[in-house]
A and B are shown apart, each in its own frame.
Chain A
Amino acid sequence: MRKLYGTALTAVMASAALLTAGCGQGLLGGGDDAGSGEKKDQPIMLGMLIPQSGSEAAIGPYMSNAAQMAVDEINAKGGVLGRKLELKTADDACDPQTAAAGANKLVTAGVDVSVGGYCSGATLPTLPIFDKAGVPMIIPVANSQELVDQKLKNVFLINGTGGQQAAAAAAWMTKEGAAKVALMHDNTSYSKDLAVRTQKLLDEPGGPETAILEAVTPKESDYSANINNVLAKKPDYVYWTGYFQEAGLLARQFRQAGYKGKIMVGDGSVSPKLIEIAGAEAAAGVYATMTQTPETLQGAETWIADYKKKFGSDPGPYSNQSYDAVRLAAEAITKAGGTDGQKIVAALEAIDGFPMFSGPLKFTPEHTLSTGGFQILVVKDGAFALQDALQ
């Protein structure tokens, strides 16, 4: 018996010794790596939370590739303030818990600016973490109103908000003379928010009315039951606010079910994959509400070509926002003259007319885009093309 006690005691003592030995970052270690001024020779670190696993994993590479491209371009020109940029990605799996751990990991790694954030629900718990660490956040994609409602000084949204997109969608459908609109979403926060906001706008007198608000389960293959519900209300316009995989299936299955009206999709669905999944025939004439994309922008052909050359595939949803987030971060650090969080925030607030894909940038007092810059695209000859700039 005594021997056992002895062994256990030794084990405890050994582990205690081990614990005290490596106190570099422990409670007694006295934070020797936290905020000790400028690290002149080290690279400036940009952190990026993106989904790399789980249901939204397909989006991750589009974002990280484009961000990496911006980093490489800036580094090729000598970096920022004489220092190189370095991109550090972390998986958020579109899950709050994983995202919070990932955000903490980035903070611990000492990132200077965060340029990630895709799922609003997973981005929310990361706000206080970055805030506490004094890390400014330039959120490229997540755009839920709740992010704004936190009123955190360090949070900047460079994607158009749901309200702005809903306004664009409602304006276009009114212009088109739609009578009954079916709104379909995938029951995720971004998609539902956009659908419900559009519904509110349509409910105002004049213009089209909402025929039905239908939710589908994402990641399935057969939406005939939902389509059946929608067609029973005989709409002449369908607006899908979710992502491109379902958009492709829906467009195809709507046409197979004999639907003759018009189909429009939100910005999450603008991808060549939509056309591929739906097939050229079913995709033709599908409208989309979208911020300016490389495809619709004059002079962006080289950007697309560069991207293709580097990664062997087309840029996808949110590639351009991610690219811009890195460029904007570099600009703000340059203006701030260093990586001090507060100075970067001040520099971001002061930015006026910085050229981005979505147009010249100036933040509102709420730290969102002053104009969403939403346009209407249409699928023509197997690709998205500009239909109406909605000016």
Chain B
Amino acid sequence: MSQLVWNGLFVGSFYALVALGYSMVYGIIKLLNFAHGDLYMLGAFIGFAVLGAAGGVSAAMALPLLLLVLVLTMGVTGLAGVVLERVAYRRLRGAPRLSLLITAVGASFALEYGMRAAAGADPRVYPVRLGGTSLEVLGARVTLQQLALVAVAVLLMIGLNLLVTRSREGRAMRAVALDPRAAALMGIDVDAVISRTFFLGSALAGAAGVMAGAHYGKIDFMMGFLIGLKAFTAAVIGGIGNIPGTMLGGLLLGLLESFGTFWLGGEWRDVFAFGVLILFLTVRPTGLLGERVTERV
């Protein structure tokens, strides 16, 4: 039982990290960024390249090195997100919202198959692996490295939440999310705020990519596709655009999958997870923490 909970929470924290970027971008420009999962993939490959450049490392140095790689990768992936917004989304901001969806899917294809052209279709394996000294916590088998990863994820999420709720930039973001026109009138540089949002969201996805690479080892050009869908789901469960809600949504989805597998077997897991989600949304149509907003009266 506690093992199921832990498994769910661990997987869920990955979902949450990726879902945050989804949710932030949605909150600010109402775009379902289908290429977001591919930024996770991009992060994993950037981390792979950086580690490869660093050469052989002793096991003792693995963790500090990985943290360094993590920070570097976050920066690069964040910039990639900014470029993506510039190229594929900015010019379409006034266009029908679904037009953006097309460029997002186009960007997703371009990233996936661009990476395939660059790195090949074969999966790659991270040179530095987090091993597993496991310990028992409340009857669940937990490895120190898993704990470390969850700690990093939690820190990143707390940092993001502080940034959005406490800082000047965060206030600007919230203002743009509420009403871009009014925000612009108040002297906020809307373009810059949107760029910053993409940077943050993409950096988090990149961080999740590196962590997945270091923990599971295997990366490939399609790895972002499934988790992109899951992150989207998680973001919606939590109340899309709402940061704490999104985190909760990620964890909840992880738990749903874990228990779904246990109760119904792996075959029916997704049916279970989506079934619960649909039932839940019919009862609470705006997600866990999403506010009930009357649309345009």
Q: Please give the number of chain B residues whose Cβ is less than 8 angstroms from any Cβ of chain A in the complex.
A: 39
Does A228 belong to the interface (CB within 8 Å)? Answer: yes
Query: In which size bucket is the chain A interface?
Result: 20 to 34
Q: Which of B256-276 contact A (CB under 8 A)?
A: 257-258, 261-262, 265-267, 269-270
Q: Which of A249-291 contact B (CB under 8 A)?
A: 249, 252, 256-258, 273, 276-277, 279
Mask of B214-227 contacts with A, CB within 8 angstroms, 1/0? 01111011110110
User: Which of B7, B121, B216, B267 is within 8 Å of A228, CB to CB?
Assistant: B7
Task: Please give me the residue from chain A that is nearest to B11 by CB atom.
Answer: A222
Find chain A residues with CB under 8 A from B134 CB.
256, 258
User: Which residues of B come within 8 Å of A, CB atoms?
Assistant: 3-4, 7-8, 10-11, 14, 113, 116, 120-123, 125, 129, 132, 134, 141, 143, 212, 215-218, 220-223, 225-226, 257-258, 261-262, 265-267, 269-270
Task: Please give me the residue from chain A that is nearest to B7 by CB atom.
Answer: A224
Asked whether B267 lies within 8 Å of A256 as measured between CB atoms, the reply is no
Find chain B residues with CB under 8 A from A60 CB.
121
Asked whether B270 lies within 8 Å of A61 as measured between CB atoms, the reply is no
Find chain A residues with CB under 8 A from B261 CB.
225-226, 228-229
Mask of A30-69 contacts with B, CB within 8 angstroms, 1/0? 0000000000000000000000011101101100000000
Find chain A residues with CB under 8 A from B265 CB.
214-215, 229
If A61-B121, A257-B141 touch, does A249 touch B7 (CB 8 Å cutoff)? Answer: no
User: Which of B116, B122, B258, B267 is within 8 Å of A225, CB to CB?
Assistant: B258
Mask of A202-229 contacts with B, CB within 8 angstroms, 1/0? 0000000000001111011110111011
Q: Which of A54, A224, A252, A273 has the most CB of B within 10 A?
A: A224
Asked whether B7 lies within 8 Å of A252 as measured between CB atoms, the reply is no
Task: Please give me the residue from chain B that is nearest to A228 by CB atom.
Answer: B3
Asked whether B226 lies within 8 Å of A248 as measured between CB atoms, the reply is no
CB distance from A248 to the nearest CB of B (A): 6
CB distance from A341 to the nearest CB of B (A): 33
Asked whether B266 lies within 8 Å of A58 as measured between CB atoms, the reply is no
Q: Which of A216, A225, A252 has the most CB of B within 10 A?
A: A225
Task: Please give me the residue from chain A that is nearest to B221 by CB atom.
Answer: A57
If A228-B262, A256-B134 touch, does A279 touch B216 (CB 8 Å cutoff)? Answer: no
A169 to B129, CA, bound (A): 32
CB distance from B115 to the nearest CB of A (A): 11
